[in-house]
A and B are shown apart, each in its own frame.
Chain A
Amino acid sequence: MPAAQSVRFLVGCVLALAASFVVAISLFVLSAGEITGTHGWTANIVRERELAVSRSQPNRLVIVAGSGGLFGIAAVELSRRTGRPAVNASSHAALRFDMLDYYFLQRLVRGDVLLLPLEFQYYYDGPPQEMNTLSVAAAHAVGLGYFWSLPLAEKAEYLRLLDAGFLWMQLRSAVGVDRFEPVRGYWRYASHWNGDIDTWGGAAKPVEPMWVRSKVEPGAKSRICKTIRALVDRGVKVIGTPPNAYVSDQTRGAARSILSDASMMFRECGGSFISPAGDGFASEGDMLDTNFHLTARARMKRSELLADALCTVVECKP
């Protein structure tokens, strides 16, 4: 075979590979930053709360958790009772803890108070401590910032977890084929400038009680502790607190055990831990649609109790 023939084949192969690579990069960039029906609500929540934290005044009180914090705590009530500007930067309990750090916690400065009513799953190893499909989709819909912040190995994992169906939706949106109209599901709840959402009118629905593990797991402890220490070193006061949760009587023992573990972890790592009256446990009649989303009425009650507990560790000037 003449060498030229081999060269032509190899050139074709290399050109096609290079072109495929360029196309893939272009599609990756083009698909970022689009809010669509696939995880768009979560991405939008992240984007709005990031903005809310950035725009708020120093010496603020910032609440960071999954959607338990969003549906279970009213920042406006905490602000009224503590006299501090408060932002509810809660989003979705499947979001990687590292993402909460990237989007919200890194914006906190000396004098700020951080309240972490973390859902129980943040105390377990595995998702949401690990990279997961929902986190990657939400981060990608927000933009490329989180991707660039990752170390190389995690960048590869991010790319691996970008679902083809999700990318397709993003691209259709990017080129204007799909017009997403945010009117259904949680989109119908309006967001306040301070991150609170308005769920008034939402009626309680029957839900199953949640299952809870009894210990804070080592990987989760290590990650959360590292973040708390970094914040404390920056002069941020970090306060852990139980999440709002509907648990069965049989599970309550395990829930108390993990909360006791969490309390110890926060203290060991330089933060503090407050337990409001009732320890965040709610009854089925308080639940909006899941076992950690409260109705608007229950949220106000929970916020009052939380504010009372908060004022035992921070100076409150109502």
Chain B
Amino acid sequence: MHFNSVQFMFAFLPVVLLAFWAIRRLSVVASSAWLAAASLGFYWLGTYLGLNVNVPLLLGSIAFNFLVGFGIFKLPRWSKAILIFGVSVDLLILGYFKYAGFILDEIAAPLGASFALDVPRGVNALPIGISFYTFTQIAYLVDTYQRKVRDQDPVNYALFVTWFPHLISGPILHHKEMMPQFADRTNRRKLELLAVGIAVFTIGLVKKVFLADPVALHASPIFAAADAGEAITMASAWVAALAYTLQLYFDFSGYCDMAVGISFMFGVRLPINFYSPYKATSIVEFWRRWHMTLSRFLRDYLYIPLGGNRKGPARRWVNLFITMVLGGLWHGAGWTFLVWGALHGVYLGINHAFRSFGGRLPAVIAWALTFLAVVVGWVFFRAQTVDGALSLLKAMVGSGMAGTVDWLAVVHIAALMAVVLALPNAYQMLARWQPALLPRDTEEEIGQGSRLRISLTLPQGMVAGIAVAVSVFMITRQVVPSEFLYFQF
């Protein structure tokens, strides 16, 4: 089920929310059980949208990781071995669904090895949400091993993994930040939660429906042409690259806002996942603002265990590169994702080296270089093939025809860039209520919020209502429901 579907907004969400508040008056434990059941129902309902839903796999994964966590907790002498076993099984399952086809077809076959194995192949074979719930549970196992986890309640654990606002596309959660919220027995101000939740949700919905989906029309045909080996003009290549850069931005940020808003309605703050990344003036800063929970996961459970920056600059660079390549591959089994990850590994290396030499650039130049580097990366991220990406990049540097400029697309892109750069984000506008869990540096940056604030007035409520109504009208016009781009990961 998609957050931007009429069925979700006007049937699933109100029913689950009303029942939750009714049950919570009687029992917090029962309300957690209800949310876990509703979250599983949410996942299962994806079947009707043609999504690859695998409920037994999800339930099996939850049961397995809970038992492994229990073992780590109860058998300290064996905890390291149990942790290695648990993480290995998780990665093997993820690898089987996500990478087996790629390894057999793209690596083994060209080397002459052939295996008569029927393994899942392609994005459609990937059980939806598996990348997110697997990483969430690996983090849980490591935290349990490090004695950061105390709670061993199966219902709360099932809810932590399946919590529907994050289940399919994240954010990737930490057990310790969610469990106290699920167990919170204090009396909450439901109307405030609902109002703030609706405000954040509406901002996300508007981003998805009014900004992300329309700009995709400038990108998709040109990327398809590049992948098909057709000649691309310089103007259209730039339009496609920038349009996709903005589509992904508004799509992912819209999704994150909607997830945070939905969760907040239930009194649960999700960790912030997206904080104006295109305002970043360095790649290091970009990764502190883009898909923040994945960055956190990769830092805590990959980069630091690899040695982080503790073993000298050269090793730090290698660790960063490995982390980013694996981060790229996490998005999908394909050469384009690998190149994208490697490219960002190189970017980060250059950025750290530049800093270590004390280099500084004027903010505008630093921003422009960062943005350009990110746009180049997104070309690989979006293209179906490395050849397609290279052909688009060559066209961008003017290797082919100049072509005519689609001024409508240029104005569209310029308008969206203005939105990206000039407007505050949802968390700044709603700083007073802190709808998401913020890392300390972000919390300090948000401070008292922005000049453009949402103060939940009657007119603002009316604007939100009209925005939802018009969004619904636009959503119902779509022949095929518009999925969030991060669903496929």
| Contact residues in B for A17 (Cβ distance below 8 Å) | 465, 468-469
> CB distance B476 to A10 under 8 Å?
no
The answer to whether the Cβ of A150 comes within 8 Å of any Cβ in the partner chain is no
Give the contact-size bracket for chain B.
Answer: 20 to 34
> CB distance B194 to A12 under 8 Å?
no
> CB distance B460 to A12 under 8 Å?
yes
Who on chain B is nearest to A21 by CB? B469
The answer to whether the Cβ of A9 comes within 8 Å of any Cβ in the partner chain is yes
Alpha-carbon distance between A24 and B472 when the two chains are bound, in angstroms: 11
The answer to whether the Cβ of A7 comes within 8 Å of any Cβ in the partner chain is yes
The answer to whether the Cβ of A20 comes within 8 Å of any Cβ in the partner chain is yes
Known: A9-B199, A10-B195. Contact between A16 and B462, CB under 8 A?
Answer: yes
Alpha-carbon distance between A12 and B433 when the two chains are bound, in angstroms: 19
> CB distance B432 to A12 under 8 Å?
no
> CB distance B469 to A3 under 8 Å?
no
* A1-38 contacts to B (CB < 8 Å): 1, 3, 5-17, 19-21, 24
The answer to whether the Cβ of B426 comes within 8 Å of any Cβ in the partner chain is no
| Contact residues in A for B191 (Cβ distance below 8 Å) | 3, 6-7, 10
The answer to whether the Cβ of B461 comes within 8 Å of any Cβ in the partner chain is yes
Report whether over half of chain B's contact residues are helix, strand or loop; otherwise say mixed.
helix
| Contact residues in A for B455 (Cβ distance below 8 Å) | 5
Alpha-carbon distance between A19 and B469 when the two chains are bound, in angstroms: 9
> CB distance A13 to B461 under 8 Å?
yes
| Contact residues in B for A24 (Cβ distance below 8 Å) | 469, 473
The answer to whether the Cβ of B356 comes within 8 Å of any Cβ in the partner chain is no
* B451-484 contacts to A (CB < 8 Å): 455-466, 468-470, 473, 476-477
> CB distance B477 to A16 under 8 Å?
no
> CB distance B457 to A16 under 8 Å?
no
The answer to whether the Cβ of B320 comes within 8 Å of any Cβ in the partner chain is no
> CB distance A6 to B456 under 8 Å?
yes
**One of A1, A7, A8, A15 near B432 (C-beta < 8 A):** A1
Alpha-carbon distance between A159 and B468 when the two chains are bound, in angstroms: 17
| Contact residues in B for A8 (Cβ distance below 8 Å) | 456-458, 461
The answer to whether the Cβ of B189 comes within 8 Å of any Cβ in the partner chain is yes
The answer to whether the Cβ of A152 comes within 8 Å of any Cβ in the partner chain is no
Report whether over half of chain A's contact residues are helix, strand or loop; otherwise say mixed.
helix
Alpha-carbon distance between A17 and B472 when the two chains are bound, in angstroms: 10
> CB distance B198 to A10 under 8 Å?
yes
Contact with B along A151-179 (1 / 0, CB 8 A): 00000000110001000000000000000
Within the complex, the shortest CB–CB distance from B260 to chain A, in Å, comes to: 17
Alpha-carbon distance between A159 and B189 when the two chains are bound, in angstroms: 38
> CB distance A15 to B456 under 8 Å?
no
> CB distance B456 to A16 under 8 Å?
no
> CB distance B461 to A9 under 8 Å?
yes
> CB distance B473 to A12 under 8 Å?
no
Centre residue among A5, A9, A20 by max chain B CB count within 10 A: A9
How many A residues, CB 8 Å from partner?
A: 22
Alpha-carbon distance between A204 and B465 when the two chains are bound, in angstroms: 56
The answer to whether the Cβ of B300 comes within 8 Å of any Cβ in the partner chain is no
Alpha-carbon distance between A9 and B477 when the two chains are bound, in angstroms: 28
> CB distance A12 to B461 under 8 Å?
yes
Within the complex, the shortest CB–CB distance from A98 to chain B, in Å, comes to: 20
Alpha-carbon distance between A160 and B477 when the two chains are bound, in angstroms: 5
> CB distance A9 to B469 under 8 Å?
no
> CB distance B476 to A14 under 8 Å?
no
> CB distance B458 to A11 under 8 Å?
yes
Within the complex, the shortest CB–CB distance from B487 to chain A, in Å, comes to: 22
> CB distance A12 to B464 under 8 Å?
yes
* B415-474 contacts to A (CB < 8 Å): 432-433, 455-466, 468-470, 473
Within the complex, the shortest CB–CB distance from A1 to chain B, in Å, comes to: 5
Within the complex, the shortest CB–CB distance from A283 to chain B, in Å, comes to: 39
Known: A17-B469, A24-B473. Contact between A10 and B461, CB under 8 A?
Answer: yes
| Contact residues in B for A6 (Cβ distance below 8 Å) | 189, 191-192, 194-196, 456
Who on chain A is nearest to B456 by CB? A9
> CB distance A16 to B199 under 8 Å?
no
Within the complex, the shortest CB–CB distance from A26 to chain B, in Å, comes to: 13
**One of A9, A16, A160 near B195 (C-beta < 8 A):** A9
Who on chain B is nearest to A133 by CB? B479
Contact with A along B44-86 (1 / 0, CB 8 A): 0000000000000000000000000000000000000000000
Contact with A along B172-213 (1 / 0, CB 8 A): 000000000000000001011011101100000000000000
Within the complex, the shortest CB–CB distance from A52 to chain B, in Å, comes to: 35
| Contact residues in B for A3 (Cβ distance below 8 Å) | 189, 191-192
| Contact residues in A for B433 (Cβ distance below 8 Å) | 1
Within the complex, the shortest CB–CB distance from B114 to chain A, in Å, comes to: 39
Who on chain B is nearest to A160 by CB? B476
20 contacts across the A-B interface (CB closer than 8 A): A1-B192, A6-B189, A7-B191, A8-B458, A8-B461, A9-B461, A10-B194, A10-B195, A10-B461, A12-B463, A13-B462, A13-B465, A14-B461, A15-B462, A16-B465, A19-B465, A21-B469, A160-B476, A160-B477, A164-B477
Name B residues whose Cβ lies closer than 8 Å to a Cβ of A: 189, 191-192, 194-196, 198-199, 432-433, 455-466, 468-470, 473, 476-477
The 5 closest A-B pairs by CB, nearest first: A12-B461, A16-B465, A20-B469, A9-B456, A9-B461
